Amino acid sequence: MQGAEEGPFKQASGFSVATAEARNLRDLRNRKYGQPVYVSSDHPLARKGQTATWEKFNVRLAVVKFKDGTVLGYDPADLLLPTRFEDGQPVFEFRTCEWCRATFPLTQQEVQQKKDLARCPACQES
């Protein structure tokens, strides 16, 4: 069955956006088949910076499908969630951490509050 979940994760009713607790696919507890994601890692096929949709997931591997039909596997931590949806389309707003150089998405609340974060959540905690 397409979209059936494996393990402790359940199916969500709608697509998710970045929150303070879940900024990437690994952190997201409720997932929906077709969830839009942004590829933040380098990959042998040069797909960094492209958007895709989530097809299949387990703790170590997320299979995503690109608009051209290519299907690739990524670490779920390298698949960032959109900041918001406008007219049904995902909008991604990112910052690059000044300490570790990792890309991280802003949440809708951070955008509305005009927070210009210089450090990713992991570096803010340390």
Domain ranges of the chain: 10-125
Q: What's residue 11's pLDDT?
A: 59
For residues 70 and 59, the answer to whether their CB atoms sit within 8 Å is no
Mean pLDDT value across residues 24-28: 92
| Residues 32-75: tens digit of each pLDDT | 889 999 999 877 678 888 999 999 887 789 999 999 999 999 99
Q: What's residue 99's pLDDT?
A: 93
| 89's tokens | 């389309």
Burial class of residue 74 in the structure, from the number of CB atoms within 10 Å of its CB (0-12 exposed, 13-18 middle, 19+ buried):
buried
Helix residue ranges, H only, 1-120: 108-112
Average pLDDT, the chain: 86
For residues 48 and 28, the answer to whether their CB atoms sit within 8 Å is no
Q: pLDDT above 70 covers what percent of the chain?
A: 90
Going by the DSSP 8-state scheme, the letter that residue 112 receives in this structure is H
Instruction: Identify residue 87 by its one-letter amino acid code.
Output: D
